[in-house]
Amino acid sequence: MKLLLPLCALALVAVTASCGGGGSTDYSSSKSAACLTKQGVRVGHDIDFVASTALGGAFIAHLADNFVTVSFGKTEADANNIADAYRRFSAANVGVEDVLRQQGNAVMLWHVHPSDADAAQITDCLKS
């Protein structure tokens, strides 16, 4: 029984690591923005203060009914810091967890809660 728990934990780590596009979470701002541009999404660089500090770059993507600021850390730890900064600087009456997403080294701050299709379009274009 004592051996089973560590084996289950190891199996969970292996399954989690294998989920998602190719296992890489070292996404590139320029490659991700280029993917969105090819899909007709208007990409700009009029970003907020937190995004302007992102070590891996940042952009804003304008979708039909929503927009999202996508910030990239050089590492996942950098992205954790970006997400923490958004939480720290959000107003008390803003449900930031509803509009804040993180995938690897990419942090997405949506204007309003994203539709599944909008969220998928952005995450499908996170490129290494």
64-90 pLDDT, tens digit each: 999 999 999 999 999 999 999 999 999
Q: From the CB of residue 41, how many other CB atoms can be counted at a distance below 10 Å?
A: 19
Is 16 inside a domain boundary?
Answer: no
Residue type (1 letter), 44: G
Domain count within the chain:
1
3-39 pLDDT, tens digit each: 433 333 333 333 333 333 444 579 999 999 999 999 9
13 sits in which H/E element: helix 4-18
Is 12 inside a domain boundary?
Answer: no
Residue type (1 letter), 31: K
Query: Which domain covers residue 64, as residue numbers?
Result: 22-124
Is 2 inside a domain boundary?
Answer: no
Is 57 inside a domain boundary?
Answer: yes
Q: Which of 44, 39, 35 lies closest to 67 in space, CA to CA?
A: 44
Q: Which of 63, 46, 55 lies closest to 107 in space, CA to CA?
A: 55
* In contact, 90 and 96? CB cutoff 8 Å: yes
Is 59 inside a domain boundary?
Answer: yes
Whole-prediction pTM value? 0.80
Give the mean pLDDT of the chain. 85
